[in-house]
Structure 1
Amino acid sequence: MEQNDRIHLELPAKPEYVSIARLTVSGIANRLGFSYDDIEDLKIAVAEACTNVVEHAYSEDGFISLACYIYEDRIQIVVADQGKSFDIAEVESRLGPVDAKKPVGDLKEGGLGLFLISTLMDKVEINEDNGVMLVMTKYLYESGVKESVDGISSLQSE
Structure 2
Amino acid sequence: MDPLLRIDIKVMSTPSLVSVIRRIVSAALKEVGTSEECIDQAVLITGEACGNIVRHAYDKPSPYKVSLEINTDALVLEFMDWGKGFDTSTPPEDGHFGLSLISTIAPDAQIESVRGEYTLVRVCLPRG
One fold, TM greater than 0.5? yes
Report TM bin, short chain: 0.7 to 0.9
Q: Whose radius of gyration is greater, 1 or 2? A: 1
Unaligned runs of 5+ in 1: 84-97, 100-105, 142-158
Deviation at residue 70 of structure 1 after TM alignment: 2.0
Alignment correspondent of 2:13: 13
Contact 2:54 2:61 in 1 (8 A): no
Say whether residues 1:55 and 2:55 are aligned partners.
Answer: yes
Q: Percent identity?
A: 27
Instruction: Name segments (4+ residues, structure 1) moved above 4 Å.
Output: none
Deviation at residue 82 of structure 1 after TM alignment: 2.2
Report the residue type matching 1:123 in the other structure. D
Deviation at residue 29 of structure 1 after TM alignment: 1.3
Deviation at residue 108 of structure 1 after TM alignment: 1.3
Alignment correspondent of 2:124: 137
Alignment correspondent of 1:73: 73
Deviation at residue 138 of structure 1 after TM alignment: 0.9
CA distance in 1, matches of 2:53, 2:98: 11
Report the residue type matching 1:19 in the other structure. S
Deviation at residue 3 of structure 1 after TM alignment: 3.7
CA distance in 2, matches of 1:77, 1:3: 16
5 Å-filtered alignment, 1:3-152, equals 3-4=2-3, 5-82=5-82, 107-109=91-93, 111-121=96-106, 123-129=108-114, 130-141=117-128
Alignment correspondent of 1:147: none
RMSD of aligned C-alpha atoms? 2.2
Deviation at residue 111 of structure 1 after TM alignment: 4.7
The TM-score normalised by the length of structure 1 is 0.68
Change (3 A) 1:135 1:117: same
Deviation at residue 64 of structure 1 after TM alignment: 2.5
Deviation at residue 121 of structure 1 after TM alignment: 2.8
Alignment correspondent of 1:149: none
The TM-score normalised by the length of structure 2 is 0.82
Q: SS where residue 118 of structure 2 aligns?
A: coil
